[in-house]
Structures are given as structure tokens and as C-alpha cells.
Structure 1
């Protein structure tokens, strides 16, 4: 761990960053709404694991979908909180006052992309599980 004092900067989101954040949040909310609407029509037993061939090989109660959504929401929140503190991230190059804004922006953008991917993957899991 380095003892260097890194600058603390309040980053301003670009228009593109705001679009990505909005898309991710809307997709997260849409996934929750999808499960709420569909829940009463689901069978009591749903697939919880699929083989490499795409065939279900483990089943669980339909309430397991809420556990999946809770994990998804927790990851979303944790990554959102982490993105607020880029000065504590690990960087390949030393962070100087001159380079801080650029490095922090890139680092938080990577977290933003990671959030989108995680939400998309979990939404796909939910969709596939409820459609099987």
C-alpha cells in the first residue's frame, strides 16, 4: 500500500456517463418490475442451474429470483459507492494533481461499464430462468 496523498476531486459526469448510469438504473428497475409482474404466473419450481447444453439440471423455489435480484441490487449499490472514491483505487502510474482527473475519470468509467455488464448478465439470467 502506498502512503502517497492523492488529490480528492469531485468528478463531473459527462453526458455519455449520465446516459450509461440512467440506462443501468432503468434496466435494474425493469428487471425488478418484470419479476414482480410475472411472479404470480411462475410455477413454484424454476430452474436455478443449467448444464453446458442449456438444459436445467437444478431447480429451486420461484422466490429464489428475489435472492438473485437482491445480489444484483447489492452489487449495483456497492459499485456505485466505490465509484465515488477513485482516490483509493490502484493505478499503474502515480496519481499527480495534473493527472488525477484523467485517471479518476477512466477508473470510474470502467466501474460504470462493469455495472452495465453485471446488470445485463443478471437480467439475462432472470429472463432465461423465467422463460424456460
Structure 2
């Protein structure tokens, strides 16, 4: 049986999430644009688990994360237009399609937000570290990122399996 292909109308919270993601994307691209002339010729290219730089590269490498972020953002934006192609933990029917699709698309929006803001933070921290203003990413980035991603996935899974009108 083919899943219903319906157009999902964003709610106000979805529009807010999109704006937050777009602001993050603008920062991700804007930060290197603003600071590029001030960046030393060598910048940190890789950070160890403790957040300190352990590999270095030419300053032109500052564009790697913004390019990756832009490609992933656009890819997730495009993919979220086709929720009927996603995998779901339960069977999609005419009765539950709107709820399931809406929740899945919201999850994609949240992934975009986390993605661009984390990449913007890493890009900013790379520049600050290269300029000697900071000593790496900090040792809290990985735990915060893990908690955020696991929390989002858990919340999305709970929402998608919750019965219509249930608690």
C-alpha cells in the first residue's frame, strides 16, 4: 500500500524553528566572511576529544564547515518536502499520516537547527583559537551534543508513537 502524499502546513512553532535555523546558517557563512582577513595563515583543522586543536591547515580550510553545512541544510530542506518517503516506527495510514508527517518534518527542522548552530560554533571557535583568543572548543561540546541529539531522537520517537489525543 502506498503512503498518502499530503502537504504539511507548518505551525507557528515550525516557522520559529525555521527562522532559528536560517539565522544559524547565515552565521555559519557570515562568520568566516567577517573574520577571513583577520585569520592567521594557519588555523586549527581538527580538535581532539578534549576540545584542543591537534591538527592544523591553511586558513582557506575555514570554508569546509560552512560548505558542508550549506549542502546538508539544503539537502534536509529538500528531503523534508517528501515525508511520505521517510521511515516510520509504525504503519502510516490516512488517519495518522498528517500527525506522523508533521512530527517527522519538525524533527528534520530541529536537525537543521542543531547542525548549523554546532557548525557555526565550531567555525567561530576555530577562528578564535587561531587568533589566540580561546583555547579550543572546550570539553563540554561533545557531551552537550550527545545529550541534545539523543534527547531530540527520544522525544521524536515518543511523539510519533503517542496515540492521537493521548498523553
Tell me if 1:112 matches 2:109: yes
SS of structure 2 residue aligned to 1:59: strand
Moved runs in structure 1, 4+ residues, more than 4 A?
Answer: none
Of the three residues 51, 74, 93, the one matched with 1:96 is 93
CA contact (8 A) 2:31 2:123 kept: no
Q: Bigger CA drift: 29-38 or 78-87?
A: 29-38
User: Counterparts of 1:129 and 1:121 in 2: how far apart (Å)?
Assistant: 12
User: Counterparts of 2:104 and 2:84 in 1: how far apart (Å)?
Assistant: 10
The aligned residue for residue 67 of structure 2 is: 70
C-alpha change, 1:96 and 1:52, in structure 2 (3 Å) is closer
The aligned residue for residue 47 of structure 1 is: 44
Of the three residues 15, 32, 54, the one matched with 1:18 is 15
Please list every run of 5 or more consecutive structure 1 residues that lacks an aligned counterpart in the other structure: none
User: Counterparts of 1:58 and 1:122 in 2: how far apart (Å)?
Assistant: 18
For normalisation by structure 1, the TM-score amounts to 0.93
For normalisation by structure 2, the TM-score amounts to 0.74
Please list every run of 5 or more consecutive structure 2 residues that lacks an aligned counterpart in the other structure: 130-167
User: Counterparts of 2:15 and 2:126 in 1: how far apart (Å)?
Assistant: 30
Render the CA deviation track for 1:61-103: whole Å, top value 9, x for unaligned.
1111112110000000110011000001111111111110000
Number of aligned residues = 129
The aligned residue for residue 87 of structure 1 is: 84
C-alpha change, 1:90 and 1:52, in structure 2 (3 Å) is closer
SS of structure 2 residue aligned to 1:58: strand
SS of structure 1 residue aligned to 2:40: coil
